[in-house]
Structures are given as structure tokens and as C-alpha cells.
Structure 1
Amino acid sequence: MTHIDQPKDVRSGEELDTDALRTWLDQEVPELSGDIAVKQFPSGHSNLTYMLQVDGKEVVLRRPPFGAEKIAKGHDMSREYTILSHLDGVFDKIPDPIAYCDDAEVIGAPFYLMERVEGVILRGAKPKVDGLDEQTMRGLSEAFVDTLAEVHAIDLEAAGLEDFGKPEGYVERQVTGWIGRYKRAQTDEIPAMDRAGEWLEANMPAEVGASIIHNDFKYDNLVLDPDDLTKVRAILDWEMATVGDPLMDLGTSLAYWVEPDDPDVIKAMSFGPTVMPGNFTRRELVDRYAEKSGLPVDDIVFYFVYGLYKVAVIGQQIYFRFKEGDTDDPRFAMLIHAVKALGDVAQKAIDEGKIEGLG
């Protein structure tokens, strides 16, 4: 049996004010009438995702995590909603946006509503999902890369996003920006992270172009067809999407793509079931992407190291919130070890000039 992703009870301290939400719905989305029942999707380290059951209908609510106002960037609900609104009708692998609220007084932060796309989401290294045999994982690897290339091929003008973001100078801004975010959220001295940041600043390649990029493209942000796990129904979590160099997007995906011979501490992070038999290696993933996109991948080590550094900084930001007492989610206590491990892998990739065999 294939398990469709389901929400659970809301975590303590992350409840929604349903009375205030009901008042807002009456004004802004009157078709969603009646009592509100709230569940929460339990996974994810960033924005909080809830399912609202209203008069027999199911919609998804997204809001920033509690304490996120201390992080200067990210968690931008307006940005995520804007991207989805522009892609609606142009790209079919998204949940349809419903409404956006910029009034933090309603539930304590800006939020938006979107349709629920029912399907399978592969969470963790060994998802409790039937049918993930070698042939299926091979097909899903192909669909993963092909879908990423499809995102990068979206017509910016058709989506009305040709003026969204600042694609010129994107690589430099991302490198310096993530270094700055790391320093603002830093809690421990991690020499490998310092060296990786310095190397990225000194080795930036020329940009290959500009496209819509997701910036968090990995298995657990894909909704799969329950009847065919090699088909992608929707891409979730567009909070960091922008217009920029598509190879930077590929680099982030490579950072999440753990291989069987990677260090044990990296494999323990469970970014997804990429170590299961049948999956592409990182090199195979890059080769198929190059074939589908037509883009040069000669500087792939740079993009991979950038991805590792970026993912490490995201983990550092979440750990910072934990250390500050803004969340007591026990998952976050161990994130500092992930930050250190990602820094070590980045350093090894730099030293050896490759993206594989880093165990």
C-alpha cells in the first residue's frame, strides 16, 4: 500500500487562533465557511504547514516558524504566494494559491492558503512507502532531474516574472549573502565552514543565464502520484524561489543528494531516500541535467560546495533559534553536528576537486 502524506495533531506551542482565522476567512475567503479543524504536517525544519478542514474542504496554510523574525531573510510568505500566483496557469506542477494575509495580528505572522495536492511525499532516508524498488527509484531519479530542468525552462515572460529578482550578479550576491547569514547566526567556531566561505568567494564562475529557480528542490518537496511514484504531481515550498543562475539551484539539490558512500554523519541527516538502490549518483544526476537543460556543468564542484554551504547555514539558522529558546523542537538540538559535517564534506570536495567518493 502506498501511503498518502497525512497531517497529525498540532505540536504544542504551534497552535493557530481559529477564532481569528474564522473572522479573516469570512472577510477574505467566504466560500470557506463553517467550523475549522486544524492538523499539522509534522516534518520540515522551516515554515510551518497546517491542513485546515473547513466544511468538508481541505486547504493548506503556510506561516513562518515562531521566532523567525530574528532571522533577517527567508520565511517570506508574500514571496512564496507571489511566485505561486505567477506560475498558476503557466506551470502545472504547483498547488493552486488561494489567498494571502499580510496582517500579522490574525495568527501572529503573515500566512497564505493554497490547495492541498494529495499524494505521496518521501520523507527521510527510508520512507514507509511500498513500491520503492530499484526500478522505481531509477525512474524517480529521472523524473527528479527532468522536473528540475522543467522549472528552469519556464518562460519568464509568460509567467510575468521577467522583472522578479535581480539575476545579474546573482552568484556573487548569494555567496556573500549566505556568508553573512552564517556569521549572524553563528554559535560555534567551525573552521571548515570558514574555509568553504573563503573558497567560494575566491572561485565564483561566470553566470550561465537566468531562470526561475526553486532553491530547495529535493525529494521531500515533491508530491508524487500514488499510482505511479515516478510521476511528480506538484512541487512544494517555494519560499526561497527567485530568478537567477539555474546551476546554483542544481548545486543545492546536489547537497541534499546523499550517496551510499558518503560519511555516516551525512547519511544520518536523512535528506531523502537518495541512498536507496536505483537512485542516480550525483554525477549521473549532473549528466542527465546537462543533457536535458543544455547547460555547461564544468564548474560543478563550485555549485556543489555552494549547496553544501547554503544547507549548512540553513541548519545553523534553525539551531540558532533553538539556542535562543524560540523553539523547543528536539530535532533541532543536533543540527550543529550537521553543520559541522556539511562543512567537512565541502572542504573535502574542494581539496579533491570532485562531487563523488567523499566518504
Structure 2
Amino acid sequence: MLNTWNDIPTTVRDGEELPVDILQSYLQQFFTNKGDLKITQFPSGYSNLTYLLQWGNTEYVLRRPPIGANIKSGHDMKREYDILTALKPNYGKVPDPKHYCQDETILGCPFYLMERVEGVILRANMPTEMTPSPALMQGISNSFVDTFVHLHQLNVNDIGLGDFGKPEGYMQRQIGGWTKRYFKSKTDEIPRIEAAAQWLGGNMPKEPTNYSLIHNDFKYDNLVLDSQDWTKVNAVLDWEMATIGNPLMDLGTTLGYWVNPNDPDFMKQLNLTPSHLPGNLSREEVVHLYSLKSGHVVGPIIFYYVYGLFKIAVIVQQIYFRYKKGFTQDPRFEKLIDGVKLLGEIANQAISKKRLDNLF
């Protein structure tokens, strides 16, 4: 399989084009590349827009906020750039940041450039012939947990991110914040989602003291795997929601994306991540391995799982809201409301049955 399945860009989507001449003229102030700038787009993301810039013999990746987004609230390019700058010499598994631009006259928003890390990205809708064998998938899932634990074990003060977030009261702010975001972007009546929000607000455990840097969107399609050995993680992408906080809430978000190989087909149809493939750990096994390798006592894991499901539902709802308002024409967004409804059902099953696996 090797590099046959390396992640590659495609033609830029309508309405998401970049002004090539203006961008090249700006970048020539900072780079010595020769030749014409060529731009394609990585099509799979649902949030920040990601492009490949081919310029002479060098390739860069450009990240910018999505069209119609509130840039100050959840798409801070400078913040993401600063995270990569701190992590590159200390964590290693991130692209090397190259340039940040705050001048909104160039693209209409801030943006940044980073190196392109080539490799394989596993997605829920990958071609059948790309699917790893169960044995390989098991190795990949173990590396997934190892990389996750390594991130949570970083000393934020040692790497210069000690003042990057406000960990005290993090849990309460998150539950309150995501609940407010849901109602602000609400388009349909979904009682199960509102019930999950109410349950979370009334069942918050005691705040832990072992805060760490958390990714907040750690899943398979944010990992770049080595094309020569898919069990090696070359880079972790999409740090837009990273902060300092409760690592178990980070784990909960990951569990929210995680669909077990033996989950019913309607759960697999969410297409959140290829964790449903044979060889993957179950949600219970992810928690056990994480606890074993990190030394963290996971505590009330159902709370964190329901939090993850609710948070993902709100993110999907926000994207669907932008689609309904006409801020994006991406046809992938048309049916997202069905995913919000299903995530609400799963959350209520976890609450009712008090377990992570075998929910239906």
C-alpha cells in the first residue's frame, strides 16, 4: 500500500477560491520561491479551510477560517499558529509553521502557512481497497492511544504554553459554553439533544487537578500516518480548538467520535471515523488502554462520553446552521441535521444504560 494512499488535494470548491495573484504578491515579501503559485484544496475538512500551495519546488499548506464563520470565537489563526510553534520542538508530531498573516486585505481574514506533511489519513469513507487489515488496524489504534497519551503528558510550562488557557473552572465553562452555542445555532426541535445538555449541567463531577494541553478534536482523520508504516504517526493536524484543560474531556470527545466495530449500522452511518473497522479497540478498550498508559483514573467516564457526543452534535449543528443561512454551499452539509439527531439518541442511551459499549 505504501504511498499509494497518501492524502492528496483536489480542485478548489466553488465559493472557496483564493486570490492567487494577490496571495503570491504578498508571499513574495517573505519567501524566495520562483515560478507561479498553484493552489488546490484538501476537501475533507468541515471547519477551517485547508489548501495546498505548490510554488516552485516547495509545497505549503495554507489554513484559513471557513466562509461566514465568527473568526474571533473559534477560528483564531494566530492561536493555532502559536500552538504549532510551541509544539514543533517539543512534541514533534506537528507540521512546521512557516508564516502567519494578520492582514485581512489579502484573503479577507487572517491565515497561516505550514509545511506539508505527506502521509496517509484514514477516513470513514476511504476506498474499500485502502482499508487496513484487522491486524494493521489494531496496531494503528494502539499508536493512536500512544500519541494521545504523549500529548497529555507534555509539561505546558516547559514548552511555553503555561498561560495558554484557564484550566480552573474549565468543565463548567465547557458545558455552559457548548449549551449556549447549541441554542444559538438551533434550527430544529431535537428533544434528545436538549435532554443531554440538561443532564450534563446537572451531573458535573468534581474538577480534576491534573490539567494538560488538550487537542479537543483528536480522531483518526486528524492524524497523518507514515506511508511506509501506518502504525507510525507523522503528524497531528487541526489544533484550532486546543487549550489547557481537563484531559478526560479530551478523551470524552475522542470517544464521542468512536464507533465500535460491533455497533449497529445506523451508528456507523454517522461516518465520524473509521474506528468501526475490524481490529479497532472498542470504546471501553480505548479507555482501559488510555488509563493504563497515562496513569489517569478516568472517573465518571459516562459523563465525559456524553459530553463528547453533545459537543460533536453542537459542532455539526453549527455547520448545518451556516449551510441553512447560505454562508456555505457545500452539498455535504445538507443532511447534517440527521447526525445531530442520532448523536442525541446515542447520548441518551449512554445515560440510561450507564455504559460505553453495547448501547443498542
- Please give the range of the TM-score, normalised by the shorter of the 2 chains: over 0.9
Tell me how far apart the structure 2 counterparts of residues 38 and 170 of structure 1 sit (CA, whole Å). Answer: 39
Matched position secondary structure for 1:198:
helix
Q: How do 1:21-40 and structure 2 match up within 5 A?
A: 21-27=23-29, 29-40=30-41
Distance 1:263 1:112 in 2: 41
1:297, 1:121 → 2: CA distance? Answer: 28
Secondary structure at the counterpart of residue 212 of structure 1 = strand
The answer to whether the 8 A contact 1:25-1:33 is kept is no
| Contact 2:178–2:311 (CA under 8 A) maintained in structure 1 | yes
Q: Deviations over 1:49-98 (max 9, x none)?
A: 000001111100001111113x7621221111111111121111000000
Deviation for aligned residue 1:126: 4.3
CA distance, structure 1, for counterparts of residue 270 and residue 126 of structure 2? 12
> Is structure 2 residue 163 aligned with structure 1 residue 158?
no
Find runs of 4+ consecutive structure 1 residues off by over 6 angstroms.
none
What are the equivalent positions in structure 2 for 1:83-98 lying under 5 Å apart? 83-98=83-98
Q: Is the 8 A contact 1:248 1:307 kept in 2?
A: yes
| SS at structure 1 position matched to 2:92 | coil
Q: Distance in 1 between matches of 2:295 and 2:88?
A: 26
Which amino acid in the other structure matches residue 157 of structure 2?
Answer: E
> What letter is aligned with 2:96?
D
Contact 1:75 1:239 in 2 (8 A): yes
Q: How does 1:98-109 map to 2 (within 5 A)?
A: 98-109=98-109
Is residue 261–residue 282 contact of structure 2 (8 Å, CA) maintained in 1?
Answer: no
Look up the SS of the partner of 1:66 in the other structure: coil
Q: Per-residue CA shift, 1:228-275, capped at 9, x if unaligned?
A: 111100000000000000000000000111113434333112122111
Residues 9 and 52 in structure 2, CA contact (< 8 A), matched pair in contact too: yes
> In 2, Cα distance between the equivalents of 1:345 and 1:280?
19
Matching of residue 278 in structure 1 with residue 266 in structure 2? no
Residue identity in the other structure for 2:338? H
1:194 aligned residue? 194
CA distance in 2, matches of 1:327, 1:264: 29
Q: How many residues matched?
A: 357
What's the TM-score once normalised by structure 2's chain length? 0.96
Q: Confirm or deny: 8 A CA contact 1:263 1:358 kept in the other structure.
A: no
Q: Is the 8 A contact 1:34 1:55 kept in 2?
A: yes
Q: Could you say what the CA RMSD is over the residues aligned between the two structures, in angstroms? A: 1.3
The share of aligned pairs that are identical, in percent, is 55
> Is structure 2 residue 202 aligned with structure 1 residue 222?
no
The 2-side partners of 1:17 and 1:46 are apart by 20
Equivalence for 1:57: 58
Map of 1:167 onto structure 2 = 167
Instruction: Provide closer, same or farther for how the CA distance between residues 126 and 33 of structure 1 changes in structure 2, counting only shifts above 3 A.
Output: closer
The 10-residue stretch of structure 1 (135-144 or 119-128) with the greater mean CA deviation from structure 2:
119-128
CA 1:313–1:90 in structure 2 vs 1: closer, same or farther (change >3 Å)?
same
Partner Cα distance (2:54, 2:338) in 1: 38
Aligned pairs for 1:338-353 within 5 A: 338-353=339-354
Contact 2:261 2:278 in 1 (8 A): no
Other-structure match for 1:138: 138
Q: Distance in 2 between matches of 1:358 and 1:23?
A: 55
Q: Is the 8 A contact 1:125 1:274 kept in 2?
A: no
Separation of aligned partners in 2, 1:312 and 1:212: 23
Equivalents in 1 of 2:354, 2:295: separation in Å?
23
For the 8 Å contact 2:261–2:280, the answer to whether it is kept is: no
Structure 2: distance between partners of 1:291 and 1:318? 36
> Equivalent residue of 2:292, what SS?
helix
The unaligned stretches of length 5 or more in structure 2 are none
Deviations 1:312-345 (A, max 9, x none): 0000000000000011111101000000100110
Deviation string 1:207-240 (CA, Å, 9 cap, x unpaired) is: 3321000000000000001111111000000000
Following TM superposition, by how much is the alpha carbon of 1:347 offset from its aligned partner in structure 2, in angstroms? Answer: 0.7
SS in 2 for 1:295: coil
Give 1:44 deviation, angstroms: 1.2
How far apart in 2 are the matches of 1:249 and 1:158? Answer: 21
Distance in 2 separating the partners of 1:196 and 1:294: 29
Tell me the alpha carbon deviations over residues 157-176 of structure 1, each in whole angstroms, 9 at most, x when there is no partner. 12101111101111111110
**2:145 touches 2:286 (CA, 8 Å); kept in 1?**
yes
Provide the residue aligned with 1:242 in structure 2.
243
The Cα offsets for residues 4-49 of structure 1, whole Å up to 9 and x where unpaired, read as: 110011111110001111121022x223343100010110111110
Task: Give yes or no for contact 1:125–1:275 (8 Å, CA) kept in 2.
Answer: no
Normalising by structure 1, we get a TM-score of 0.97
Instruction: Using the TM superposition, give the Cα deviation of residue 297 of structure 1 relative to its aligned residue in structure 2, in angstroms.
Output: 1.3
Q: In structure 2, how many angstroms separate the alpha carbons of the residues matched to 1:131 and 1:180? A: 39
CA distance change for structure 1 residues 186 and 263 in 2, over 3 Å: closer, same or farther? farther
Stretch of structure 1 that moved more, 56-65 or 123-132:
123-132
Does residue 358 (structure 1) correspond to residue 348 (structure 2)? The answer is: no
Query: 3-state SS of the aligned residue for 1:114?
Result: strand
Alignment of 1:293 with 2:294, yes or no, is yes
Task: Identify the residue that residue 262 of structure 1 maps to in structure 2.
Answer: 263
Report the Cα offset of residue 130 of structure 1: 3.8
Structure-2 change in CA distance of 1:259 and 1:243 (3 Å): same
CA distance in 2, matches of 1:284, 1:265: 22
3-state SS of 1:302 partner: helix
